[in-house]
Chains A and B, each alone.
Chain A
Amino acid sequence: MRNALKRFLIIDKRNAPNQKRLAWAAFAVLAIILLALPFAIDGLFGRGWVRVLDFALLYIMLALGLNIVVGYAGLLDLGYVAFFAVGAYCYALLGSPQFGIHLPFWIVLPLGALLACLFGILLGAPTLRLRGDYLAIVTLGFGEIIRIFLNNLNAPINITNGPQGISMIDSIHLGEFSLGRTQEIFGITFPAAHLHYYLFLIFTLLVIFVSLRLQDSRIGRAWAAIREDEIAASAMGINTRNIKLLAFAMGATFGGLAGGLFAGFQGFVSPESFGLTESIMILCMVVLGGMGNVGGVVLGGILLVVIPELTRHLAGTAQQALLGKTVIDPESLRMLMFGLALILIMLWRPAGLWPSSQRRRELIAPAPPSV
């Protein structure tokens, strides 16, 4: 992120001390903006948009998790939302009246992430020998299996409460301090949406930090090597199976983490939230923003949460004004846009809106002639 920022500001390399000061200044400005953002949005657009912001952060976490699998390791995972579901249901089952268990969130959240990680390994261990497109289909199937089970595990023993989902989930709370209601700290009133924003921001920054550190680490380089040529990578002594499994497990962990936060924030989970559409949407964020580039993925996450939200508000009124009736309902418009975006991006900007430099070279360089 800092590198990207530097490049963005086009700072002269010869002027090192100045550059450092500038970078810190930019950081300070960014921090202030991020801290003040919910209040500004609340004041300008209303409380609903702060919730949109919270969702944007959740999706950024998910997209960054998927980015590890798709962007770094080059494994197309179409069932990523399954891990999100595992995390969410773990939180929901252990913190709701469903079983009467009310564990605190600092136990449930890591538990959910761990469980998701376990599922990632369970899915990855047998399937990672497969080539890319087979893997995509198998993961898609896995996502569906999880959803079918969530939908049907209400009989004969009621575990997931079936299609109705689990409601009245405990809000995220630490002792007496709950994020679910308005709190007053140092004389400033923080509504629930704002409190969640700060919590999600912390986790998002954590995920970004881990992603960035991983990217240039030994593991990150191994992922890139596998992505580019698996046979060559294994010839260089990389244990491809374990390294791929690691990518799967890490991606799944982030997914589970986001799932737990989602359940605590929403207070309600149902299988409907974890369909193929969600997986595709998260994939869209990664592809649109730029596979393998953290900044790009963050951008993609923001765009794909905010734009559909905007169209939901504007498309209906615009169509009413122009045509006198609603021709396309906002939900279809959103899906149509996702689909077209995937096609057009692949055709014209295969490396995404903000590509990583390496990925760009890879995707734009002509492939060797097929033999």
Chain B
Amino acid sequence: MDIFLQQIINGLVQGSVYSMVALGYTMVYGILGLINFAHGEIVMIGAMVALSVIQLLTGAGFPIFFILLISLMLSMIVCMILGYSMERIAYRPLRNAPRLAPLITAIGLSIVLQTLAMMFWGREYHSFPLLFTNDSVHIAGAVITEVQIIIITVALVMMGGLLILVHRTRLGRAMRAVAENPSAAALMGVNSNSVISITFVLGSALAAIAGIMISANYGIVHYLMGALLGLKAFTAAVLGGIGNLRGAMLGGLLLGLIESLGAGYIGDLSGGFLGSHYQDVFAFFVLIAVLIFRPSGLLGERVAERA
């Protein structure tokens, strides 16, 4: 029982990170109908920048929350600039090009970002400093650490904030209008270019936070961490229904749960033939299964076919 509960907690923590990244995919997809393939790399850059800032400030004797705040701010700013320039350089010129073109530039971008990060921060695994005491709370035999509690709280706050932004503000209305019909939105006086830029910037800021969260949870940062994370987050977005914000949140949490429960029990289920190192396979099977049986996702009403 306690193992089951533990897996659920781990899954929720992991899932809330997936949700945050998936929101970035889903917002961009909702507005442009484009898979921002390089989004995972932004998560990685966010984590890397935060790592550097923390390493720089740790010796100076600042209080821990100050360090955390500064690193969060800086990595968000770097990622926002990155997201903005990415859209300007690689996606905007190709907005009317065939669908394959922006996807290929996105792959190119993701390779370039990975390589630059590798040149900057090196090939090795960095250990992400422990920011909080390793205190943990025991719930019915399962353990949840302080960091994990913070991760889930921050994720919930961020998602709530995003929902309010999109559904209650003027900017959010503009975003929804552009997603619905760009030309009609433009006729109504919405500057669709700036709305699209803002969408990229918002998604990148969320990605930066997600990057810090996942590195704080695992304590490890690596230049290749973004690729797989991005793929899984995309799976989460598809699972929930791509283009749908609530869907991305739900999909992320579900995927986290599926992964941790799957990895925890696959050994028993397959009689010891397959072990927990197949954890990464689940996301892909989920992705393929969703795309085959319900391509519009759990909450999506969009039809997948777009001529």
Contacts and interface: CB of A to CB of B under 8 A. Distances in A.
A335 B93 contact: no
Contact of A280 (B107, B272, B283): B107
B111 A339 contact: yes
A148 B295 contact: no
B183 A371 contact: yes
A335 B115 contact: yes
A369 interface: yes
A346 B104 CA distance: 7
Interface stretch (A14-22, A39-47, A133-141, A196-204): A133-141
Interface residues of A, number: 52
Contacts of A142: 284, 288
A276 B231 CA distance: 12
B109 A343 contact: yes
Contacts of A134: 238, 291, 295, 304
Contacts of B180: none
A335 B114 contact: yes
Nearest to B280: A148
Contacts, number: 137
B225 to A, nearest CB: 14
Contact of B93 (A133, A152, A347): A347
B101 A350 contact: yes
B100 A76 contact: yes
A137 B287 contact: yes
A145 interface: yes
A334 to B, nearest CB: 9
B294 interface: no
B90 interface: yes
A293 to B, nearest CB: 15
B60 interface: no
Interface in A93-146: 126-127, 129-134, 136-138, 140-142, 144-145
A137 B238 CA distance: 11
A347 B105 CA distance: 8
B185 to A, nearest CB: 12
Contacts of B109: 339, 343
B291 to A, nearest CB: 6
Contacts of B291: 127, 130, 134, 138
Contact of B288 (A126, A283, A346): A126
A351 to B, nearest CB: 10
B281 A145 contact: yes
B100 A74 contact: yes
A140 B99 CA distance: 17
B94 interface: yes
A332 B123 CA distance: 11
Contacts of A276: 227
Nearest to A70: B100
A227 B34 CA distance: 18
Main secondary structure of the interface of B (DSSP, over half): helix
Give the interface centre of B98, B285, B287 by most chain A CB atoms within 10 Å.
Answer: B98
A104 to B, nearest CB: 33
Interface string A318-352: 00000000001000100110111111001100100
Contacts of A341: 108
A336 B116 contact: yes
Contact of B287 (A141, A347, A350): A141
Interface string B22-39: 000000000000110000
A206 B145 CA distance: 61
Given A231-B307, A363-B97, A148 B104 contact: no
Contacts of A283: 104, 107
Contacts of B275: 152, 155
A235 to B, nearest CB: 12
B168 interface: no
Contact of A342 (B107, B272, B304): B107
Nearest to B102: A346
Given A130-B295, A144-B280, A145-B281, A369 B183 contact: yes
A149 B292 CA distance: 22
A338 B111 contact: yes
B273 interface: yes
Contacts of B284: 141-142, 144-145
A136 B34 CA distance: 12
A332 to B, nearest CB: 5
B305 interface: yes
A298 interface: no
Contacts of B35: 133, 136-137
Given A126-B288, A283-B107, A350 B97 contact: yes
A138 B103 contact: no
Contacts of A70: 100
A126 B235 CA distance: 17
Contacts of B227: 276
B170 interface: no
Interface of B: 34-35, 89-90, 93-94, 96-105, 107-112, 114-116, 118-119, 182-183, 227-228, 231, 234-235, 238, 272-275, 277-278, 280-281, 283-285, 287-288, 291-292, 295, 304-307
Given A133-B35, A137-B238, A343-B105, 7 more contacts: A144-B228, A144-B284, A145-B285, A152-B274, A339-B111, A340-B108, A347-B105
15 contacts: A136-B35, A137-B35, A229-B307, A287-B104, A328-B119, A339-B108, A342-B104, A342-B107, A343-B105, A343-B108, A346-B104, A346-B108, A350-B101, A363-B97, A367-B96
